[in-house]
Structure 1
Amino acid sequence: MSKKPKILIVDDESIVRESLGDWLDGAGYDVEIAESGEEALPIIKKKKPKIMVADLVMPGMNGIELMNEAKKIIPTLSTVIITAHATIQSAITAIREGAFDYIEKPFCPEKVELLIGKLVEHQDLIEENIKLRQKIADRFHFEGIIAKSPKMLKIFELIRIVAPTNATVLITGETGTGKEVVARAVHHQSKRRSKPFIATSCAALPESLLESELFGHEKGSFTGAVERKKGKFEAADKGTLFLDEIGEINANTQVHLLRALEEKKITRIGSNEEIDVDVRIIIATNKDLRSMVLEGKFREDLYYRLKVVTINLPALKDRKEDILPLAEHFLKKYAEENDKDVINLSPEVIEFMLNYSWLGNVRELENMIEHGVILSTSNAITMAEFPQDIIHPTPTEEKTIEAVTKAHILNVLEETKGNISEAAKILGIQRMTLYNKLKKYNHTVN
């Protein structure tokens, strides 16, 4: 260490604290002294020592009591207890309660200095370990995104580069890959971080209401418009507007969105007044917008306006290195939320997760871990807590992915007795996405 740490010596015997203080001061340590626990606590609050040497037996507060009170102020404070031979057992108790070591009276200052030196080395190792773990955590935990795969680490770097600009960002990827989490990361890394982040799903509202939701409306502009309402663009002014499922917007809304991007102006429904807006747009889709352009379903000029920077999120099955870090994160999260003592995943569960296809991606993994935590009756999630239709699918030769997906969706729908919202939550997909899939399967929901 370039600078030796501050040490507090607490002893009711003046000859002990002064002689030890002088010796350690001469050895280069920054020394404070106190004759009682009551006198020591204000010094601890003000001077913030890293090490405390305290007598075990003192009038008033004893050494163990002082150590416990001091740790409430500085949890990382290391304590060495001074004890007489008759109180060795108490000193051992102090170590059990968190003291680093004890020194038996009478002692020579050189012995104390040697012990302090070992303690400083110990603290240095702990601090290095904390810094290393934090460095690893920072690398694998970026703005709420947990990942260590090379693909995701490249995305972290892309976010760092793009976020400080005002560029429109297009986030693509399968449902459940974490597009909104990435959008929030871009916002939090940007100059707009202190301003609003407004998220809306273009698939969650009927086409007739989406335009009003985005651009607002005036009172009486349509049936049900009983008062003036500001839209998402105005709510996100000076901040970021995240539009999910952008491929769902109709031709008319596309025109208004293009104008908002090009002119930075909007007009509420039922009004001719132009309103200036300063909004950074981030959009997301699980559709192929280029194909939609070629099919005439999406404006080409809007497509190129939106596609300034593209972040393509890989499916979870294509970044298996991230499965266990994510699973451990969700395990801790839902164990705490549900007050459950579940801290492990069984080896069978780990093997299953690493080989599962994860059609619902991160959202499905999160749902499965939550399911397992809630049903677990021990400190580990086992295969018994996972949905059996996922673990033991109906065996069929040469099943396509689409066929497996269809069977899984219909099975979940049957289990939820046709409840679309509940089924979508279990599957980890949007309600509108589920509706579209059922329409594709020619399946009618009563």
Structure 2
Amino acid sequence: MNAKPASILLVDDDLQLVQSMSHWLRDFGHQVQTAGNLEEARTELAARHFDLLLLDLRLGSDDGFHLISEVRKAYPDVCVLVLTGYATPQTAVEAIEAGAFDLLTKPVLDAELQLAIERGLSQRQIAQENQRLRQSLDVRSGLENVLTHDYRMLKIFDVIDSVADARASVLITGENGTGKSMIARAIHQRSSRRQKPFVEVACGALPDNLLESELFGHVKGAFTGAATDKVGKFHLADRGTLFLDEIGTASPAMQVKLLRVLQEFEFEQVGGTKTQSVDTRVILATNEDLSAAVNDGRFRQDLYYRINVVNIVLPALRERVGDIPLLCDSFLHAAAETSGRDVDGFDHEAMQLLQAYPWPGNVRQLQNVVERAVLLSRDKVLTVQDLPPEVVGTVADPLSAALPQGIPSSIASPGTGSISQTQGATGGLPNQAAGPESGNRLNPSSFANKTLREALEGPEREIILHTLRRFKWNRAATADALDINRTTLYKKMKRLGLDDPRLQFALDEAH
């Protein structure tokens, strides 16, 4: 027998068979306990752990089917093999449905029993590995998936552990891109509701009438187009977690409905009269200052106090600069694996710029910048040439308006200089020939040991990229604006790595 030694409980009222089979099993290194009826079997199961149960269906006046069901519920890790001298096709079906792995007919051949035990133990091992994998995935979806060394984030982790199992609402606030959805998922995964659904709704993406139907569901005929009944998100998240993102965009009418369901956990479907009750944990998020919205009359005070039981404030990425190398490393390896690129990381000068930049789009923007750098790079080590203009400081960041006052929109690392753009006659292209009075400064050390062609590749790539974005990747319009023919443009795009269709997606996401 090739199976690893296992702990086996043999349940049969045939004493001669029990003695013979138990000796045979022990010869293969298995640990065997025996029982002659269901009561003895239950005692053995309660006393010690077993890997395998060999069970006769007829035990005097006892029915072995009862024990199969009990073992399936109380000891799901135990593999059950049924032995019977009165097998019919229907008996086999009923045994499998009750939870048995296999059914063998007496008299059982040694080779047949050996194979069944091996298969049963192998199936049990696979089930245990699957369970460990599910637990691992749960962990990855929890706090362990939030990369940080920042003390403020570590304090937030402590709060999450404290409130994970509370039914009270949690309000997560922070700028766009700080990871509010990830924190909501982490709370769900740390709670006893982790096996139930996590349902997410972006409140700002739906008009008020559709949002009500999305949250509470509707009955057939409730409005034009309601051809069938629809179950709402509150019901789908019953005994699980409902995450309401962008809650600050909810209209006054919707705020009233939300207040009721958060107080009583009861609601009616749109067009319906039947009151439904749910046990749903609600987590909400916003990038707005809700206290200011309350003062301005845009948000109900009673709803604000209802949802603000626990408030988790996520710091912006510029406030946790020490996490940027850690996040870059994670995003870089993920992007390199997805795109099939061989990339090691950013050099010191590029990392300085990444840490100096204010990141108005926070972690989401950083991820897009890293993915862009991986797609554009021709070398294993990423440099300043692989960063977008707004990070290097060569153009104004289109997201700079989102920054708080006092944060500059363009930051250059000391000693690297910056290149300010002016508008030339070519319709918005950088005027590289502008004089010193325009603020143009180049760092000669960045061109050391490079040929003229190599030194010009960076600016040429950025000029073409800027124009492609300006004309929404229309290559004909781009070629006309650059005063070159389309064939030349295509060749330059291929040489500079700008012909990858994934690059357009990554850049569009970043801007």
TM-score, normalised by the number of residues in structure 2? 0.52
Shift of 1:348: 1.5
1:267, CA displacement in angstroms? 1.0
Deviation per residue, 1:72-105 (Å, 9 max, x gap): xxxxxxxxxxxxxxxxxxxxxxxxxxxxxxxxxx
Structure 2 unaligned blocks of 5 or more: 1-138, 411-420, 422-427, 430-465, 474-504
Paired residue secondary structure (2:340) = coil
Equivalent position to 1:415, from 464, 469, 473: 469
Could you say which residue in structure 2 is the equivalent of 1:34?
none
- Aligned 8 A contact 1:258 1:302 in 2: yes
Q: Which moved more, 1:379-388 or 1:348-357?
A: 379-388
Aligned positions of 1:72-151 closer than 5 A: 142-151=143-152
Distance 1:379 1:394 in 2: 26
Amino acid at match of 1:312: V
| 1:426 maps to 2:480 | no
Identity in percent: 43
Written as runs of structure 1 = structure 2, the 5 A alignment for 1:185-196 is 185-196=186-197
**Which position in structure 2 is the counterpart of 1:370?**
371
Residue 304 of structure 2 is matched in structure 1 by: 303
For 1:426, the aligned partner's letter is: A
Query: Is the partner of 2:204 in helix, strand or coil?
Result: coil
- Relative to structure 1, the CA distance from residue 246 to residue 424 in structure 2 (aligned partners, 3 Å threshold; closer, same or farther) is farther
1:227: how far off? Answer: 1.5
Q: Contact 1:143–1:188 (CA<8 Å) still a contact in 2?
A: no
Partner of 1:277: 278
Distance 1:422 1:252 in 2: 38
1:223 CA displacement: 1.6
Q: Indicate the structure (1 or 2) with the bigger Cα radius of gyration.
A: 2
Q: 1:298 to 1:275 in 2, by over 3 A?
A: same
The residue that corresponds to 1:436 in the other structure is none
1:365 and 1:269 mapped to 2: Cα distance?
Answer: 41
The amino acid that maps onto 1:218 is V
Name the SS for the 2:171 alignment partner.
strand
Cα RMSD (Å) of the superposition? 3.1
Moved over 3 A (4+): 393-396, 399-406, 410-414, 416-419, 421-424
Summarize the Cα distance change of 1:422–1:252 in structure 2 as closer, same or farther, 3 Å threshold: farther
Does the CA-based 8 Å contact 2:172-2:180 persist in structure 1?
A: yes
Partner residue of 1:255? 256
The answer (yes or no) to whether the contact 1:146–1:322 under 8 Å persists in 2 is: yes
Matched, 1:266 2:267: yes
Q: 1:201-238 CA distances to partner (integer Å, 9 max, x unpaired)?
A: 11111223111111111112112212111111111110
| 2:380 equivalent in structure 1 | 379
Sort the Cα spacing of 1:271 and 1:423 in 2 relative to 1 into closer, same or farther, 3 A: farther
Instruction: Describe the shift of the 1:423–1:377 C-alpha distance in structure 2 as closer, same or farther (beyond 3 A).
Output: closer
- Residue of structure 2 in register with 1:226 after alignment: 227
| 1:287 aligned residue | 288
Whichever residue aligns with residue 385 of structure 1, its letter is D
Q: Judging changes above 3 Å, is the alpha-carbon distance between structure 1 residues 156 and 289 closer, same or farther for their aligned structure 2 residues?
A: same
Higher relative contact order (CA 8 A, sep 6+): 1
Q: For residue 229 of structure 1, what is the amino acid of its counterpart? A: K
Q: How does 1:339-418 map to 2 (within 5 A)?
A: 339-394=340-395, 401=403, 415=469, 417=471
Is the CA contact (8 Å cut-off) linking 1:416 and 1:422 kept in structure 2? no
For the Cα contact (< 8 Å) 1:177–1:361, is it kept in 2?
yes
Aligned residues: 285
CA distance in 1 between counterparts of 2:394 and 2:213 reads: 44
Q: What are the ranges of 5 or more consecutive residues in structure 1 without an aligned counterpart?
A: 1-137, 428-446
Aligned to 2:55: none
Distance, in Å, in 1 between the alignment partners of 2:355 and 2:187 is: 29
Any idea what the Cα deviations from partners look like across 1:118-151, whole Å, max 9, x if unmatched? xxxxxxxxxxxxxxxxxxxx9xx93311100111
Cα 1:146/1:415, change in 2 over 3 Å:
same
**Aligned with 1:170: secondary structure?**
strand
Q: How much has 1:153 moved relative to structure 2?
A: 0.8
Distance 1:286 1:326, change over 3 A: same
Deviates more, 1:345-354 or 1:357-366: 345-354
2:159 equivalent to 1:158: yes
8 Å CA contact retained: 1:198, 1:241: yes
